[in-house]
Copies of this chain bind each other. A is one copy, B any other.
Amino acid sequence: MTQITVTADNRPLRRDAERNRQRILDAARELFAQRGLCVTLNDIAHHAGVGVGTVYRRFPDKAHLIDDLFEQRVEELVALMDQASADPDPWNGLVGFLTRALELQAQDRALKEILNEMPDGVERVCRIRDRLLPLGSDLVRRAQESGRLRADAAATDIPIIQLMLSALMDAARDVEPELWRRFLAIVIRGLSADPGPPEALSPGPLLPNDVDLVMSRSKTSTP
C-alpha cells in the first residue's frame, strides 16, 4: 500500500518528506472527494497540515497530483464494466453498472468531474472512455439480444445518462443525496423494451420547499 518514492538520484525520500507526501495525498483525496477539483493546492496543503511549498516540491502542478491520485480510481470503472459484462443476465449487468458507477460518483465529486467534464490537463486519466465504450457496446448488444433493452439504445447513451444523473446528483447533494436513484429508475424504465407495471420509486419525490434549494445549489460547494 505505502508506496516508497525516490528522488531523482534513486535515493529514498527523507522520513519527514515521505510522511508529508502521504499526508498531502490523503488530504487531496478527501478534499477532492468532498468538494471537487476546484479545491486549491492551498486548501490541500492546509488540510494536510503542511505549507503550500511542500506540495509544490512533490508535485509539479495540480494536474499531476490529480493524475497520480485518480489513475487508480478510474480503473475501478473498468473493473465495474468487466463485472457487468460477466453477469449472466446482461440487462442486470447494465443496470448494475449504471447504478454502481453512479454510486462511485456520488462518493467522489472529483471523480465525477473527471468522468463527465474532461478537465484540461488530465487527459491521460480521461482516456478510460476509450476503453469503456467497446465494453459497453458489447453489453448493450447482449442486453438487446436478451430482449430486455430497447433495440434503439446505443453504447454512447450510457455516458450521456451518467452525465444527466450526475448533474442532478450534484445539485441535490446537500438536500437529498439519493435523489438520483429515483430518476435512474425512471430512465432505466424508459430504456426497457417492455416495462412491466411501475415499481416503487425510492427515494420519494422532493418536497416543494426543497426544490428551490436544489436549484440554487447547482453550483457552489460547502466551505
Contacts from A to B (Cβ < 8 Å)? 116-118, 126, 129, 133, 150-157, 159-161, 163-165, 167-168, 171-172, 179, 182-183, 185-191, 193-195, 197-198, 200-201, 204-208, 210-212, 214-216, 218-219
- Please state if A165 and B164 are interface contacts (CB–CB under 8 Å): yes
Contact A205 B157 (CB under 8 A): yes
Asked if residues B198 and A193 are in contact (CB atoms below 8 Å), the reply is yes
A190 touching B187, Cβ below 8 Å: yes
Q: Which 4 A-B pairs have the closest CB atoms?
A: A154-B205, A167-B167, A190-B190, A186-B190
A sample of 17 more A-B contacts (CB under 8 A), given A157-B183, A157-B205, is A118-B212, A118-B218, A129-B211, A152-B200, A154-B204, A154-B206, A156-B208, A157-B206, A160-B168, A163-B167, A163-B168, A163-B171, A164-B167, A164-B168, A186-B191, A190-B190, A190-B191
Q: Is the CB of B183 within 8 A of A186?
A: no
User: Is the Cβ of A208 less than 8 Å from the Cβ of B133?
Assistant: yes
Of B150, B198, B205, the residue contacting A156 (CB under 8 A) is B205
Chain B nearest Cβ from A157, distance in angstroms: 6
Given known contacts A154-B205, A164-B164, A197-B194, is B117 in contact with A211 (CB within 8 Å)?
no
- Minimum C-beta distance from A220 to chain B (A): 10
A183 contact from B129, B160, B172, B185, Cβ within 8 A: B160
Instruction: Determine if B198 and A151 form an interchain contact, defined as CB atoms under 8 angstroms apart.
Output: yes
CB-contact partner of A129 in B187, B193, B200, B215, under 8 A: B215
Residue from the list B151, B152, B197, B214 in contact with A160, Cβ < 8 A: B214
